[in-house]
A = this chain, B = another copy of it.
Amino acid sequence: MPQSPLKIGLAGFGNVGAGVYKNLEKNRDILRERTGRDIIVHRVVVRDLKKKRAVSLPLENVSTDLSDLIEDDEVELVVELIGGIDRAFDFVKASLEKGKTVVTGNKALLAERGRELFEVAKENQSHIYYEAAVAGGIPIIKTVQESLIGNHIQSVAGIINGTCNYILTRMSEAGLEYEAALDEAQKLGYAEADPTLDVNGWDAAHKAIILASLSYGCWVPCDQIYVDGIEKVTKPDIDFADDLGYTIKLLAIIKLHENRGIEVRVQPSLVAKDHILASVRGVFNAILVTGDVVGETLFYGSGAGQDPTSSSVIGDIADAVARENQQGAMGFVTHDLYGKPLKVEESISKYYLRVQVVDKPGSLAQIATILGDHGIGILSVIQPEDHEEETAPVALTLHFAPFGKMLAAKAQIAKLDCVREEPILMRVEAV
């Protein structure tokens, strides 16, 4: 029996709020199949009804008063995306007291007043989900809370502020000074007009506090952690670090010490260039989690932005459905929204082909002719000049072609008089 739709309310229709609405509408079919329920945005509260928006507001139930959302008993779940602390706190608290489920992406709210809110949730048997509060689209909260539940988390090292990572990447790779890199980040929309909370390290610190609190089951107070931003990092530091074999990253570090203390801090830090965290460039985020059972794991993706952050909000909404409906998102759900497996002959890629040929003129021409007959373009050819054998390898890279055509061409090439051994064919993947 199909369940009734889940009616949700959005508090805030800024960048992320609009993204949640847009993507819930766009992927409604697959979400219904996977969760067993239709998810409907039933009510929206915004600050300014007349603001011009890239994503249009729904036609009904839009207002500027948060209590409209709190008092709407049809709304089972609210998504808090208004930002800030005091007004958001009051809204989340009132919603929990009404027994509503709360999904929030508000890291400052949770870091500063999460302890109080989780107590309110417990008293009212309601629930708070907050995947979107840390590292945008990367499912780090669920991973630490559920997948790694059997582990003592030994350490977390995260690049969890995309703005800072963009600025440091540009200083390092394009030789920009700090101010120029910040300016560029602002022009590209990667930094806000007032970038203070990003560049002073506190955005990363709020996320680190949430991760540390979750990992260690106790709320880490904001005034007990050490936070340094990137404002003082200069071009000479980037260059010295480079000379020394390092890249400068703003790292959030959480560490469990054997004397049973927890270290939490955010600081610009030198990371060895061959370390996996050094390869995290631009606005991307990555979090290296080490557990006593699982060992080292890394989670990488977009740490901010409308779509990635909505992916996490929608995941949380689906989790709330799954919690209510034990058959929901947790099971293996079959449906026919995607069609059937593709025949491999139709799959397209570039290729690498190595052919062992008798070393005389004309061999390459014969191979090229066969490839041309199958409509396969040649990207490059390597034919080593020095060799002592009678036969020599020719290595080619080939342009995009269906695998079926490629196999047919390879079979013809294999039959050439000048060819010895079965040719070696591999894909060149641009994944």
Contacts and interface: CB of A to CB of B under 8 A. Distances in A.
9 contacts: A118-B331, A139-B143, A145-B330, A147-B311, A225-B344, A226-B347, A233-B424, A240-B395, A277-B431
A262 interface: yes
Contacts of A234: 424
A341 B264 contact: yes
A56 interface: no
Contact of A270 (B337, B393, B427): B427
How many copies of the polypeptide does the oligomer hold?
2
Interface string A230-265: 001110110011011010100101011101111111
A220 interface: yes
B149 A31 contact: yes
A145 B395 contact: no
Interface stretch (A57-65, A67-75, A176-184, A316-324): A316-324
Contact of A151 (B138, B311, B339, B424): B311
B340 A262 contact: yes
A155 interface: yes
B344 A226 contact: yes
Interface of A: 23-24, 26-27, 30-31, 33-35, 114, 118, 121-122, 127-128, 131, 137-139, 142-143, 145-152, 155, 157, 212-214, 216-221, 224-226, 232-234, 236-237, 240-241, 243-244, 246, 248, 251, 253, 255-257, 259-265, 267-272, 275-277, 279, 288, 291-302, 305, 307-308, 310-312, 314-315, 317-319, 322-323, 326, 329-344, 346-347, 349, 352, 354, 380, 382, 393, 395, 397, 403, 424, 426-431
A146 B341 contact: no
Nearest to A332: B118
A237 B424 contact: yes
Contact of A295 (B122, B236, B253, B301): B301
Nearest to A265: B344
A256 B308 CA distance: 19
Contact of A291 (B150, B248, B311, B346): B311
Contact of A314 (B33, B142, B293, B334): B293
A26 to B, nearest CB: 8
Contacts of A216: 337-338
